[in-house]
A and B are shown apart, each in its own frame.
Chain A
Amino acid sequence: MFNYTFRWNQAFNALPRLLEGALVTLEIALLSMLIGIVIAILLTGCRLSGNRVLSAIARTWVEVARNTPALFQIYMAHFGLGAFGIHLSPYTSLLAGIAFNNAGYLAENFRGALKAIPDTQTRAGRSLGMPPIQAFRLIVMPQMLRIAFLPATNQMVWAILMTSLGVTVGMNTDLAGITQELNARSFRTFEFFAMAAVIYYLIAKAVTLAARALAWRMFRY
């Protein structure tokens, strides 16, 4: 059945290059999360602002991010913006696509977290003489952060997995891109991609564990 000789040493020799790619993968994922969080906070603010236009924009963003494929969003950044004469590099389109996706999911997550905290909490804070901003910062925010934290770490894992989509728009410096490039030269597809799979798996697990450790330190109550 298996008329095929596995040659792993070639793949092992390429390990340093693959790990370099893994760093780029992690970098894109982290950047996309940071950008995503900032935009998500803005979107949440827009939705709560009561301003019709702002909240419609925010709602549209969230709906598009959640209801179209991530790859579609990356294509939009890479090909779609060409209509406006904007031509993004693979790196930038990938980052923009994932950040767009993150922002949509995180905004929904933040809104859910905010809704989960009863009004009585704010009222209790106010009754102690806190001004609204202070009550939000000292009472609501910390509780909200705790609720939103776990879904946000899931989103981080998603972001890592999504970076692999860059290869479809010509990205060649991240883990998937480098793997594909090595594969194109050697045709040891299975070996190279198996190595990449293991590295992705380890990164995903490391992020999950780190997030859990962080949550354990941050949320002691």
Chain B
Amino acid sequence: MIEIQNVRKSFGQLEVLKGIDLTVNKGEVLTVIGGSGSGKSTLLTCINGLEPIDSGRILIDGTEVHAKSTDLNKLRRKVGIVFQQWNAFPHLTVVENVMLAPRKVLGLPKAEARAIAVKQLSHVGLGEKLDVYPSRLSGGQQQRMAIARALAMSPDYMLFDEVTSALDPQLVGEVLDTLRMLAREGMTMICVTHEMKFAREVSDRVAFFHQGVMMEIAPPAEFFGNPRAPELQKFLSATH
């Protein structure tokens, strides 16, 4: 369970998270939508402990992310994150990209790490591309590799930060298919996205962020069928 309690966060003068309260249960798929600068991406990096927060608490299975005593590197094994920019490690082949963290962070033997990597890469449809360098992959393939790389740590939670935003339109589908597959398999996921159709299909709940505030959260039918906040109504009519 991910519990977010009254989290505030500023970059200099700009307050990007103005007291967020949110709980994500095991097995749940939450999608987060909102305009740019709404704070939705920042929230993800805070959950992973990549950004400090100013006040409030974030708990993952009861462990406080930003407590001094928390071993962040250990906690991050539980929480995978995939970014808008896929950030392939360019000096490693596809399979090495995925093997690196299991070997060095989990300390698995090489053969075992490779087996995991091959399994995850096949899972996202890259079983044929094991030994090529990322520069030879399309953006969609690189992004699926990044997903496999995060999955190889067998995380309990996955965070997706606008993973299709930097892709050419014809490559968006393959990445969304991978996410749909994960959702079907019962992975607990938070997806920040602009893909409304995807949000409607896979989510258990959809949240709307606006200027650092979570204005609305509801199951997709209600969220899209009967939006209450005027900002959300405006946002939905603008994107349709």
* In-complex A–B contact (CB below 8 Å): no
Residues of A at the B interface (CB closer than 8 Å) are none
Residues of B at the A interface (CB closer than 8 Å) are none
